Amino acid sequence: MSTETHGHGHGDGHRHEHPSQPDLEDQPVGYYQVMTEALGEVLIDKGVITADELRQQVEWQDSRAPVFGAKLIARAWVDPDFKERLLEDVNGAAAELDIDAGDIPIRAVENTGQVHNVIVCTLCSCYPRSLIGLPPDWYKSRAYRSRTVREPRAVLAEFGTEIGDDMEVRVHDSTADLRYLVMPMRPAGSEDMGEDELADLVGRDSMIGVALARSPGE
Amino acid sequence: MTARFAKGDRVRVRDAHPPGHVRTPSFIRGHNGVITRVIGEFANPEELAYGRDGRPEIPLYWVEFRQTELWSGYAGQAQDTAVVDIFEHWLEPAEGDTP
């Protein structure tokens, strides 16, 4: 990497070396980046979608975050009727809280004292984006996708999550039209907490199933 | 299209290897499992992939497999399972069962 010398202008007039930050365009451009750009241009040129629709969709995707899923889990922890509806139809339950879960049907899978659920997409990288945002890179990796179905307990242990020998580990492979959201167990010591505080205990990884909900004070 | 299988049915995933786009992962082909949920009907992804409309829609199921049945030398526990979403045309009754 090249370096350059420049003045900082913060009073003392000192000069020192910084590596220059490459601009976005200085990174190597991959095949799929080129194909994505080209497809977008063709769809816009042919009037299938407008540039503004494409922009809006990217903006919407980027606005999704685990806080939405966490709100649903916290409500389910305090409201058994809501939990029933969440387990039956996540999209409908989300709409009750004014959360847009998108058009793809999502099913919640409940962790209990007997069963621990974990999600993977062995064929690609299907993920409940509308409720927990874009997937982390590891979720899309070949290692996670192949090993989670083959040796789930070893993968979970690498995330620091040890599942007891008397529990069932249930791996959900989202191969088709559904997406899955794990409903983690409500942690001990959270009995007196309100919904907002409870939502803070529900991290992204606990809704994928590679971690448990945080304990209060953790 | 009426669902051919019901919750609790034992099924076998066809051990087929057709060319083209399919949504049935290799690791369950030829293996036995149990239907744990009839999810509903969805457009056939093997048709959608080639620009067709995917009709008629096909019933989709949750099929639960014992990990020890899928992998020889599975290092976890005997009760561990994998649940995979499988379209009906990939399923047949498990051997010895009547449809």
What pLDDT is attached to residue B33? 97
Minimum mean pLDDT range among A1-5, A20-24, A121-125, B21-25: A1-5
Neighbours of A113 (CB within 10 A): 9
> H or E segment at B47?
helix B45-48
pLDDT band at A1 (very low <50, low <70, confident <90, very high): very low
For the residues A26-51, what does the mean pLDDT come to? Answer: 95
Q: At how many degrees (to 10) do helices A31-45 and A51-63 cross?
A: 130
d(CA B49, CA A35): 17
What pLDDT is attached to residue B66? 98
Nearest to A174 among B64, B74, B85 (CB): B85
d(CA A55, CA A68): 22
CB–CB of B84 and A151 under 8 A?
Answer: no
**Phi, psi (deg, nearest 5) at residue B82:** -125, 135
pLDDT tens string A130-180: 999 999 999 999 999 999 999 999 999 999 999 999 999 999 999 988 999
Residue corresponding to tokens 């070893």: A154
> Which of B47, B79, B89, B91 is the best substitution to test chain A (most A C-beta atoms within 10 A)?
B79
The residue among A145, A156, A178 whose CA lies nearest residue B27 is A145
- Fold type of domain B10-93: SH3 type barrels. (2.30.30)
> H or E segment at B80?
none
CB–CB of A152 and B75 under 8 A?
Answer: no
Contacts of A17 (CB under 8 A, 6+ apart): A3, A4, A5
For the residues B82-95, what does the mean pLDDT come to? Answer: 96
- Any alpha helices (H) in chain A, and if so which ranges? 31-45, 51-63, 66-78, 80-88, 90-96, 129-132, 137-140, 142-150, 152-158, 195-199, 204-208
Q: Which residues on chain A place their C-beta less than 8 Å from a C-beta of chain B? A: 122-123, 149-154, 165-178
What pLDDT is attached to residue A218? 79
pLDDT tens string B29-76: 999 999 999 999 999 999 999 999 999 999 999 999 999 999 999 999
Question: Of all residues in chain A, what percent carry a pLDDT higher than 90?
Answer: 83
- In the residue annotation, A174 being an active-site residue is answered as no
Domains of chain A and any CATH numbers: 28-63 (no CATH), 64-208 (3.90.330.10)
Name every chain A residue with its beta carbon within 8 A of the beta carbon of B25.
122-123, 149, 173, 175
pLDDT band at A12 (very low <50, low <70, confident <90, very high): low
Name every chain A residue with its beta carbon within 8 A of the beta carbon of B44.
none
Which is more confidently placed, A93 or B1?
A93
For the residues A51-65, what does the mean pLDDT come to? Answer: 95
- Any alpha helices (H) in A79-177, and if so which ranges? 80-88, 90-96, 129-132, 137-140, 142-150, 152-158
Q: What residue of A is the nearest CA neighbor of B75?
A: A151
> Which of A173, A174, A179, A180 is the best substitution to test chain B (most B C-beta atoms within 10 A)?
A173
Name every chain B residue with its beta carbon within 8 A of the beta carbon of A167.
77, 79
CB–CB of A175 and B42 under 8 A?
Answer: no
pLDDT band at B97 (very low <50, low <70, confident <90, very high): low
What pLDDT is attached to residue A3? 44
Average pLDDT value over all residues in chain A? 92
Name every chain A residue with its beta carbon within 8 A of the beta carbon of B80.
152-153, 168-171
What pLDDT is attached to residue B65? 98
For the residues A75-94, what does the mean pLDDT come to? Answer: 97
Average pLDDT value over all residues in chain B? 94
Domain boundaries, chain B: 10-93
